[in-house]
Structure 1
């Protein structure tokens, strides 16, 4: 009988302020809790590093928070069993190119492999191939475009570009036995795929991905089997602090893959729970109930009309938030507009103005011009960093 290969994959990891004390202990069991034993038992462990590991105190100008880890944190995570960091995400460039380079250099020094980021876009898109026993495991990591991307002369994350990335998946599959694709994107706090995200991921499966995991949503999502491949739309947090009363934020999945010979790999979801004392494995009853709910929710993915209807409902519930952001309003305006159910936006912007905004966003030509103009503006203000 052929020897089993075990692979473990963790979701988003970031040393938040409330968990800083656990990282400062430099004790992996303080950081990863009961998951440590499972990680160390695996032949290969992968995690998404959701922040640059750097001593820099110079964050870039961006929307949203600037996240940071320290170089010594990576050694703690390595001691906990992590072999590979995926670094294609929306925060890896939060402390500029120096932050990315510092992270890559620390990983190289520690012998931790990386994927999805590099000193330029060519390096960032390189797949990672790791021989494990008698199999070759391939890993590709992609991120949606935010303030994070590598360019021809700047370090950063590997962008998912449908025209190139699907070809990258097809090519990588030809050089490995099992291909893992980590996709950092989708809508935060939404457990289902949008119609577009589902189409993207199904195409990844069609062109060679054996397992597609969507990260970034900060919640456990739904999953489906497509063309013999597994797609998980939301892995949830691994180590990202604890939010009192927010169970969605406080849970995540450890994904375990068992490969034996030519038999279809077994994929298992293991529930992680965070609390004020750290991260741990959920008890059997709680885990069983949560996974049953996940299975029930996942049935909707087989019906496109349900996927569309769920997406319409989610989008409608965020109309005041997104209109405020679209028209460049601040937090105070945003809060008032949400309380007034979008009446401020309705008062300030006519239907015609919103039609113009819609057309500039949906038309590739207009969209490209606007993005170029805005990039030029911010590049002048931020030491030529490409945004």
Structure 2
């Protein structure tokens, strides 16, 4: 049913237990943050978060006030809805084991309130491999729940390969797609965008938006450095006018790369845990990408500045606690996390 190669499947558990720093580290020249001096005064502020799931959370997370304030301060938050939203899972055994994802509408509403994300400022991608984990009925239930919550969506075939949403005075085109699926190909493609080839996108889309942004579910899981094919696709997207790429699926943080005037954040890690309640510490590092986009006539839609804000998802009973890395208690964990981030972002 899935489209994962055998080598990928065999490596999943070893890499989950010990996320890898292997792979090509060359060419990642972009730092974790860059600021314009002097900073432009006319900007729209976007925040991109990683995969969002209830697999590791029986209750809404606790969130550091600084993270909640950051997410409340932006004009638009964009993330990946990794779990179907259903009241009663149809895949009961798999859901209990954690191999099939599901979360309730109440959980999502409580989680968004806990982390400071306003529903009317949220856009969630449904282009991921788990979105049909509860079947076609679960997919339909997910769409209905998000509509009730007032949350906008991207990554469905109904909306087309590029879907437009406003953020302040800007119109942003979102090309959300997944390269991976866990369901039957025909059933999946009929509902979820797998349009990773920009040649499939509408003609003239660049003239219809101020900024073209890709939100891909790509690469291999639990690897801090993206595969060559992933980087090649990033270059292809940039060559077709994409100026901002915020990736998911690796479940660990990955580097940032500048390709011409395009910014590529290959992997933001998980925002809420997606793979079992117990997880080794490298997989608990997440990031929030905040991007300032210019709205002035001289450079409308251009990226003025960006910063990755790193945090840890600390297990606490039946839920997680989101804590900025700099606020971790001094000790072995904080040293290990700092060393890991240094290895990724100084390559």
TM-score range, shorter chain: 0.7 to 0.9
Tell me how far 1:283 sits from its aligned partner: 1.0
Tell me how far 1:151 sits from its aligned partner: 4.8
SS in 2 for 1:114: strand
Match of 2:323 among 249, 273, 280: 280
CA contact 1:116–1:124 (8 Å) conserved in 2: yes
Alignment of 1:225-240 (within 5 A): 225-240=258-273
CA contact 2:292–2:305 (8 Å) conserved in 1: yes
SS in 2 for 1:65: coil
* More RCO (CA 8 Å, sep 6+): 2
CA contact 1:97–1:155 (8 Å) conserved in 2: no
CA contact 1:236–1:251 (8 Å) conserved in 2: yes
Q: Distance in 1 between matches of 2:149 and 2:279?
A: 37
Match of 2:344 among 276, 294, 304: 294
Tell me how far 1:150 sits from its aligned partner: 7.7
| Cα deviation code 1:114-146 (max 9, x no counterpart) | 0012xxx3x153433222233212212100132
Q: Distance in 2 between matches of 1:99 and 1:188?
A: 24
SS in 1 for 2:140: helix
TM-score, structure 1 as length reference: 0.66
Q: Distance in 2 between matches of 1:145 and 1:61?
A: 22
CA contact 1:7–1:256 (8 Å) conserved in 2: yes
Structure 1 unaligned runs (5+)? 24-29, 298-387
RMSD over aligned Cα atoms: 3.0
Q: Distance in 2 between matches of 1:131 and 1:289?
A: 38
- Given the alignment of the two structures, is residue 210 of structure 1 paired with residue 248 of structure 2, yes or no? no
Structure 2 unaligned runs (5+)? 1-39, 329-333
Name the structure 2 match of 1:52.
84
| Cα deviation code 1:47-97 (max 9, x no counterpart) | 1110100123312999x8111011222322443315111110010000011
Quick one: structure 1 residues 58 and 251, their matched pair in 2 at CA, closer, same or farther if it must change by over 3 Å? Answer: same
- How many residues end up aligned between the 2 structures? 284
Quick one: structure 1 residues 291 and 158, their matched pair in 2 at CA, closer, same or farther if it must change by over 3 Å? Answer: same
- Given the alignment of the two structures, is residue 6 of structure 1 paired with residue 39 of structure 2, yes or no? no
Quick one: structure 1 residues 171 and 87, their matched pair in 2 at CA, closer, same or farther if it must change by over 3 Å? Answer: farther
CA radius of gyration, larger in: 1
Q: Distance in 2 between matches of 1:37 and 1:251?
A: 19
TM-score, structure 2 as length reference: 0.73
Quick one: structure 1 residues 111 and 244, their matched pair in 2 at CA, closer, same or farther if it must change by over 3 Å? Answer: closer
Tell me how far 1:274 sits from its aligned partner: 0.8
Choose between structure 1 and 2: higher helix proportion: 1
Tell me how far 1:205 sits from its aligned partner: 1.0
Quick one: structure 1 residues 211 and 76, their matched pair in 2 at CA, closer, same or farther if it must change by over 3 Å? Answer: same
- Given the alignment of the two structures, is residue 224 of structure 1 paired with residue 257 of structure 2, yes or no? yes
CA contact 2:255–2:265 (8 Å) conserved in 1: yes
Name the structure 1 match of 2:222.
189
